[in-house]
Amino acid sequence: MTRRIRTRIAPSPTGFLHLGTARTALFSWAFARHHGGDFILRIEDTDVARSTQEAVDQIIAAMNWLQLDYDEGPFYQMQRLDRYREVIAGMLAAGTAYHCYCTPAELDAMREAQRARGEKPRYDGTWRPEPGKVLPAVPPDVPPVVRFRNPVDGDVTWADMVKGPITISNRELDDLIICRPDGTPTYNFCVVVDDWDMQISHVIRGDDHVNNTPRQINILRALGAELPQYGHVPMILGPDGDKLSKRHGAVSVMQYEEAGFLPEAMVNYLARLGWSHGDEELFDRAQLVSWFDGQHMARSAAQWDAAKLGWVNAHYLRRLDDGALAQLVADQLARRGIAATADGRLQQMCALFKDRCATAAELADWLGMYYVPVSPTADDLSAHVTDAVRPALRSLRDRLASIDWDKGTIAAAIKEALSAHALKMPQLATALRVLVCGRAQTPSIDAVLSLFTREDVLRRLQAV
């Protein structure tokens, strides 16, 4: 009987959802969906000092935005402490874990002495029970830790879904502390109990966890648990080759939402960052799910490419219907303090400008001019609104006051002014752009003007 496919994402709520965690979540989600399995959200909040409810909320908001729907959870580790204690008690009884009464000072001295002898510092097994061994007398007043009795010989080997076979010698592994003197279980131990209880079949996570895996496998074996398969995904790197961090720009998923990116584009871009299906660059969620069988995750680290994300986003932006796009742009305008309704006019504006924009935010940067006064630069004014053009601007303004307000009639009025004043199109069009739009370049000026109100255009041409 094959095991039911169950994957999980297990973020620590110490901040926003990082792009790297989002990508791991996406892979775990897509893999579960591909196999008709389950995807689980688990909040690893045992670092009480750094975990916050606000971070939990942010993580869930980001998962929702990316539409990474989970079948179970969120489970909170802090609500499972009794269960961890129960498992620890069972291990103590079974002899797969033991109390260690070494004080921090003794452990420091132990490590010092090992270093002085040129050895790798490790726990020396003072309190590790062995057949026939007499343990030291239990000191009074030293609250013990609980250590896992790691096998001393042999290797731990697993077939990593991403990196291929990995083998670590047990000699490299210490007797891990699984419970602190104050009774709180430690990170690696909680992960093991959770993965066991939640019947996780595949653990896909960042390769910063590779060193934890042999320890977790040993504990799972000691518990008689079925092992999950592991896949360790390489880190995402910034353009300079360092691990992607705030230094490189936005690393929080929701910052991309704020910046006007589309969830479809993020999902597409993140999926391609460390996974491939032939040469496919643009694919939707359903295609991703149908292709994501756990193969073809990249062994080498992927580099964040903001330009490519922009290109992917532009693709999805263009496919959006104008009503939906107008709503996104209205939201972006609202963030800039500009009230705009996603009406037919805003939809026409979006249609006119979207080909030159990669995000809804860029569109809002363009379209703000339709709602609030513009301030042309002194340089643009002196370069383009010259004495040679002013008379034509004045006669055009007078004409615009009375014509029908549509693109074709505006275009005809502009042509009349050009021939009456013997000017070339770029001279008059650029002056109009600077005065009305506050910038020297726009799409076709008649189309751009037709989407302003007549009153706004006349007001902006008043002073010529």
Phi, psi of 18 (to 5 degrees): -75, 150
Cα Rg for the chain, rounded, in angstroms? 32
Is the link from the previous residue into 151 a cis peptide, with omega within 30 of 0?
Answer: no
* CB of residue 3 to ligand GLU, shortest distance in Å: 18
**Whether the Cβ atoms of residue 67 and residue 263 lie closer than 8 Å to each other:** yes
Cβ nearer to ligand GLU, comparing 209 with 308 = 209
Q: At what angle do helices 360-367 and 344-353 cross, to 10 degrees?
A: 110
CB of 349: closest distance to ligand GLU in angstroms?
42
> Residue 53: is it exposed, middle or buried by C-beta count within 10 angstroms (0-12/13-18/19+)?
exposed
Q: In terms of CB distance, is 5 or 367 closer to ligand GLU?
A: 5
Residue 186: CB minimum distance to ligand GLU, A:
13
Closer residue to ligand GLU in complex, CB, 196/370: 196
Compute the 3-state secondary structure of the chain and give helix, strand, coil in percent, each to the nearest 5.
Answer: 50, 10, 40
* Cα–Cα distance for residue pair 438/440, rounded to 1 Å: 7
Q: Of 50 and 335, which CB lies nearer to ligand GLU in the complex structure? A: 50
Task: Say which residues have a Cβ less than 8 Å from residue 207's Cβ, sequence separation at least 6.
Answer: 162, 163, 232, 233, 234, 235
Alpha-carbon gap, residue 387 to 397, rounded angstroms: 16
- What is the nearest approach in angstroms of ligand GLU to the Cβ of residue 211? 12
Q: In the bound complex, what is the minimum distance in angstroms from residue 11's beta carbon to ligand GLU?
A: 5
Residue 310 dihedral angles phi and psi, to the nearest 5°: -60, -40
Q: How do strand 72-76 and strand 38-43 relate by DSSP bridges?
A: parallel
In this structure, are residues 259 and 328 in contact, taking their beta carbons and an 8 Å threshold?
Answer: no
Quickly count: other Cβ atoms within 10 Å of residue 24's Cβ: 25
Sign of torsion over alpha carbons 203, 208, 209, 214:
positive
The nearest distance, CB 230 to ligand GLU, in angstroms, is: 9
The amino acid at residue 174 is: D
Q: Are 267 and 288 in contact (CB under 8 A)?
A: yes
Query: Could you give the CA distance from residue 199 to residue 227 in angstroms, rounded to a whole number?
Result: 9
In the complex, the smallest distance separating the C-beta of residue 248 from ligand GLU, rounded to whole angstroms, is 19
Closer to ligand GLU by CB, 8 or 384: give it. 8
203 vs 461 by CB, closer to ligand GLU? 203
Q: How far is CA 260 from the centre of its chain?
A: 14
Residues that bind ligand GLU (CB under 6 A): 10-12, 44, 191, 205, 209
- Residue number with CB closer to ligand GLU (11 or 260): 11
Q: Which is nearer to ligand GLU, 179 or 233 (CB)?
A: 233
* Cβ closest to ligand GLU, residue 123 vs residue 189: 189
- What's the distance, CA 367 to chain centroid? 28
Find the shortest distance in angstroms from Cβ 54 to ligand GLU: 17
- Residue with Cβ nearer ligand GLU (12 or 409): 12
Q: Which residues of 146-175 are buried (b: 16+ CB within 10 A; e: fewer)?
A: bbbbbeeeeebebebbbbeebebeeeebeb
| Minimum CB–partner distance for residue 188 and ligand GLU (Å) | 9
Question: Least distance in Å: CB of 191 to ligand GLU?
Answer: 5
In the complex, which residue's CB is closest to ligand GLU? Answer: 205
To the nearest whole angstrom, how small is the minimum distance from the Cβ of residue 15 to ligand GLU? 10
Q: Judged by CB, which is closer to ligand GLU: 22, or 437?
A: 22
